[in-house]
Structure 1
Amino acid sequence: MAGKVESGKRNPAKLLLRVYGPQVEHIIDRENELSVLRRLARKKIGPRLLGTFANGRFEQYLNAITLTSEDLKDPDTSKQIAKRMRELHDGMELLEDEKGGGPAVLKNWDSWLARVSHAISFLDAKILAGNLGPVKTPVDAWKERGFVCGTDWPTFKAMFDRYRQHLFDRYGGPKAVREHLVFCHNDTQYGNILRVRPDDKKSPLLLPNYEHKQLVVIDFEYAAANVRGYEFANHFTEWCYDYHDEALSFACNVDRYPTPEEQYRLIQSYVNHRPEYPHPGASTPVLTPVTTPTMGPSTPSLAPATGGSTSSIAEFMLDARVPPGGWKEEEKRREAQAEEQIKSLIEEARLWRPICSAMWIAWGIMQAKIPGLDPVETPAKSHGGDSSAVAAPEEEDDGDDQGFDYLGYAQQRAMFFWGDCVNSGLIKLEDLPEASPPMGHKG
């Protein structure tokens, strides 16, 4: 009898153990990340947080596969990603301090600036002095490529400040930007998106209307308040990367950037999707920072606002609910409204792309191991950490990233940044220093 009981026991549930990488507190605010994970758990978004300890945590294990770089270009997968984005943006309400703090991408830049400035000034000085030393490994390749930021640091920093002001001007000031903020993931690269494989053939996830829910976003280290356009800008640029390429894992392949048609398809799916459980403040996206008028609610109420059931004869006069001009005109109005929202979001994504590039440039510089770089002490804590060396060990990763060229990654993102600045008309290509590598990319 005991043997039968023993053999009938179910296997323990699988858990996922995450151990944090060493000394990345100046990049990732772990306390904030855990707070976000708890909020997400209450909304049933992402894997459940099961427990924490000093340098790691336990999460729900999901029977899933990670998307590949090629999956992002698949039309059906792309539309499913868009739906999940909409559910995150509308499903998670921002806290008041998150709204008041403005876009997280700019907060990150400001908090990382002292470290980045110290590191890149050190590299610039070595380049200008010609005191580079031998290229021993692929991560030393920066010595052969010139300025990491495409120009010297003061020139790059001045252009970032100018573009930041340009961005605020397009919205009408920082306060107007804050009105557009939603809760964003901010790092929707293919490695952070899983596709769950349902064990049960009768699982609702196999139904057409729920198939997109097979996708689960993980790794919320950078999740915070940003505008929708930033989320799209970040996702679109991630199309250009294959972090599993054995030779060029850091490289940005601009030919892979989504075409206008691919951008339209994803954002159209986003605009037309209606999450089941939006937070109380969620409504039609505030999508129009540039020239078009802000649109109103996407699904206007056509029934009389009675506040509850009554015996009024008017409730049964169904024909009276037909909108002016009839249903065909109403359908045309909604289609035109959706089209306006799609165009606005495409423009907003283009507008935030240089800021997105600048943040990941800073991230790459902070991740790089730079021999000979002295620590810099900062008066204020940067993104959740204390004042320690700029040259940070690499971030936690599933694989061995000792060979990842962080400075090469930063430099190629700098080319993206400068290309967008040229396209925006803030600087002419011929006005850039001659030492800068060729710039420009597809829009």
Structure 2
Amino acid sequence: MSSPASSQHSNDGLPSIPGCDTIIDLAVLKGEALKAKVLKLVQVLFPEWAEGVESIQIDRVSGALTNAVFFVNAPNKSRLLLRVYGNGVDQIIDRENELSWLARLSSLNIGPSLLGVFGNGRFEQYLPSTTLTHEDMCTPETSQRIASCLRELHDIVTVYPFDPTKDHLEVWSNIEKWYKVVMTLLPNLMKKSDGWAKILKVYNLERLPFQIEECKKILQKVDSPIVFAHNDTQYGNVLQLENTNELVVVDFEYAGYNPRGFDLANHMCEWAYNYHSEQPAAMNMSLFPTYEEQIRFLKAYLETPSKFDNPAINGVTPESLQKECTMWLMASHLSWGLWGLIQANQSEIDFDYFLFSTQRLNAFREEFAKWSS
């Protein structure tokens, strides 16, 4: 039985949203049982929407690497988007931070609105749209439009400024947190297969803390302003709206304050992945944007008018920004490499997280060797 809905208040005096502590266990609930459970949940959170609704249709949307995403439909009702969090992702994602940012973005009319939350998931506004493909993301026009989207997100830092006394940079916070988790999971990972055990011994993860500290020292010398960063702008997180063709970035699980160079470099890394190919977890560096493609993307980023009058762009050239991004690549590789090992241990999604992780850790060490020398 779902508990009564309560109002979940966010910081900054933002509007409250309905919430309850119901858990949806996708390992147990299938078919009609899942529909019945979701209908009860909807009745608790959105009684007006549920009025007169006797049954719902649920359609799963593929493509998410940490969540199960569903469309919830009922006759004469607006479609809802239901997101059920994956097993163990609380080791990876700070939900309180994510929900706080979603509320702020809603107040700025950026992205889909957060409608309600429950024990292991949430409901969001459904935006009639199509999700970009890898090919879409890499076309010149779309790439430049993604650059403009990122500029808009980054400039939110002028509305919600970074406060070093209470805020943290996601990149270093995640790397520190995820490394600790990986080391607790290491014995388990070694037992999963002899092949994994051999590779993990070669990686010698015990020496990573030294490399992380050196990486920090190198990147502290890079002048890269702190922005509000999405931190996961892969093509599956960019929608094209049906009515206006406008691009909208969604899924803010990893969002927060970060250096500009990290977020831009992180997006460039996503060019090397096609999650709908025969090898979805494999990083194909032949797809990584060329220097010319990077400059075109960064030129569009710099030329996008700031909605929030962000002065941090003054005096920056596409070429200087490209150098900034290039140096931050190693931090992107490191963070996702650690993320992949955690997922390899716990995720039930059919994706080769171990391959993903080892390729990213290899790329980190290659970049680290380049800059530390």
**Could you say which TM-score interval applies, normalised by the shorter chain?**
0.7 to 0.9
Distance 1:156 1:113, change over 3 A: closer
> In the alignment, what sits opposite 1:29?
94
**Offset at residue 181 of structure 1 (A):** 0.6
> In the alignment, what sits opposite 1:221?
253
> In the alignment, what sits opposite 2:347?
393
The reply on whether 1:341 has 2:321 as its aligned counterpart is no
The reply on whether 1:65 has 2:130 as its aligned counterpart is yes
Residue 360 of structure 1, aligned match among 315, 333, 336: 336
> In the alignment, what sits opposite 1:187?
232
The C-alpha deviation readout for 1:51-90, integer Å capped at 9, x for no partner, is: 2222222211111111111112100000000111111111
3-state DSSP of counterpart to 1:220: coil
**Offset at residue 150 of structure 1 (A):** 6.1
1:183 and 1:225 in contact (8 A); partners too: yes
Point out the structure with max Rg over C-alpha.
Answer: 1
Give the letter aligned to residue 368 of structure 2: C
Give the letter aligned to residue 167 of structure 1: L
> In the alignment, what sits opposite 1:162?
214
Give the letter aligned to residue 275 of structure 2: Y
3-state DSSP of counterpart to 1:161: helix
CA distance, structure 2, for counterparts of residue 26 and residue 133 of structure 1: 23
> In the alignment, what sits opposite 2:284?
253
1:17 and 1:57 in contact (8 A); partners too: yes
Structure 2 residue runs of 5 or longer lacking an equivalent are: 1-74
1:150 and 1:414 in contact (8 A); partners too: no
Distance 1:148 1:71, change over 3 A: farther
Give the letter aligned to residue 301 of structure 2: Y
The reply on whether 1:119 has 2:150 as its aligned counterpart is no
CA distance, structure 1, for counterparts of residue 162 and residue 201 of structure 2: 35
> In the alignment, what sits opposite 2:304?
273
Higher strand share: 2
**Superposition TM-score, scaled by structure 2 size:** 0.74
More displaced, 50-59 or 254-263? 50-59
Same amino acid, percent of matched pairs:
39
Distance 1:351 1:65, change over 3 A: same
CA distance, structure 1, for counterparts of residue 205 and residue 138 of structure 2: 35
* CA RMSD, 1 decimal: 2.4
Give the letter aligned to residue 184 of structure 1: A
3-state DSSP of counterpart to 2:115: strand
Distance 1:132 1:188, change over 3 A: closer
Residue 411 of structure 1, aligned match among 348, 352, 358: 358
Give the letter aligned to residue 295 of structure 2: Y
1:240 and 1:256 in contact (8 A); partners too: yes
3-state DSSP of counterpart to 1:241: coil
After superposition, where does 1:289-368 map in structure 2 within 5 Å?
A: 295=314, 337=315, 340-368=316-344
CA distance, structure 2, for counterparts of residue 132 and residue 368 of structure 1: 10
> In the alignment, what sits opposite 1:241?
273
2:298 and 2:318 in contact (8 A); partners too: yes
The C-alpha deviation readout for 1:387-436, integer Å capped at 9, x for no partner, is: xxxxx335xxxxxx2x3111111100012112212332x25xxxxxxxxx
**Offset at residue 133 of structure 1 (A):** 5.3
3-state DSSP of counterpart to 1:41: helix
CA distance, structure 2, for counterparts of residue 170 and residue 87 of structure 1: 22
1:228 and 1:345 in contact (8 A); partners too: no
2:231 and 2:254 in contact (8 A); partners too: yes
> In the alignment, what sits opposite 1:438?
none
Distance 1:132 1:79, change over 3 A: closer
CA distance, structure 1, for counterparts of residue 266 and residue 128 of structure 2: 27
1:182 and 1:225 in contact (8 A); partners too: yes
The C-alpha deviation readout for 1:85-126, integer Å capped at 9, x for no partner, is: 111111353355467534211011112222112334665xx5
Report runs of 4+ in structure 1 exceeding 6 Å deviation: none
3-state DSSP of counterpart to 1:270: helix
Distance 1:34 1:101, change over 3 A: closer
After superposition, where does 1:11-30 map in structure 2 within 5 Å?
A: 11-30=76-95
> In the alignment, what sits opposite 2:369?
422
> In the alignment, what sits opposite 1:325?
none
CA distance, structure 1, for counterparts of residue 363 and residue 291 of structure 2: 17
Structure 1 residue runs of 5 or longer lacking an equivalent are: 1-9, 135-140, 172-176, 199-204, 206-210, 286-294, 296-336, 370-391, 395-400, 428-443
Give the letter aligned to residue 409 of structure 1: F
3-state DSSP of counterpart to 1:147: helix
3-state DSSP of counterpart to 1:252: coil
Distance 1:245 1:99, change over 3 A: farther
2:162 and 2:226 in contact (8 A); partners too: no
CA distance, structure 1, for counterparts of residue 93 and residue 99 of structure 2: 11
Paired residues, number: 298
**Superposition TM-score, scaled by structure 1 size:** 0.63
The C-alpha deviation readout for 1:256-290, integer Å capped at 9, x for no partner, is: 00000000000000101103x31x6x2232xxxxx
Give the letter aligned to residue 298 of structure 2: I
3-state DSSP of counterpart to 2:258: strand
1:120 and 1:153 in contact (8 A); partners too: no
Distance 1:24 1:351, change over 3 A: same
CA distance, structure 1, for counterparts of residue 176 and residue 149 of structure 2: 30
3-state DSSP of counterpart to 2:317: helix
